[in-house]
Amino acid sequence: MNELQQKLFELLKEFVRVCEENNLTYWLLGGTLLGAVRHKGFIPWDDDVDVAMPREDYEKFINLKQEAFSDKKFFVQTFKSDPHYMWNYAKLRDSSTTYIEPAFRNIRMNHGLWLDIFPLDGISKEPQDPKKLVHQIGWRWHNNYMMRMYAKRRKIRKERWFKDILLNIYAYMFFWTNVGHWRNKYEEKRYLKYKTSECKQWVFYHSSSRQRGITLREWREGEAVYGVFEGLKVRLPHNYDAYLSWIYGDYMTPPPENKRVPLHLAKHYSATIGYEEYIKSHNL
* 211-235 pLDDT per residue, tens: 566 777 778 777 889 999 999 999 9
DSSP secondary structure of 166-181: HHHHHHHHHS-S-TTS
Task: Return the H-helix or E-strand segment holding 98.
Answer: strand 98-100
What does the mean pLDDT of the chain come to? 84
CA atoms within 13 A on the CB side of 124: 18
In this prediction, residue 77 carries a pLDDT of 97
Is the predicted pLDDT of residue 180 greater than 50, yes or no? no
Rounded to a whole number of angstroms, the CA Rg of the chain reads: 19
Check if the beta carbon of residue 189 is closer than 8 Å to that of residue 176: no
Helical pair 134-145 and 182-191, crossing angle rounded to 10 deg:
160
pTM, full prediction: 0.84
The domain segmentation of the chain, as residue ranges, is 3-281
Q: How far apart are CA 204 and CA 200, in angstroms?
A: 14
Q: How far apart are CA 132 and CA 140, in angstroms?
A: 14
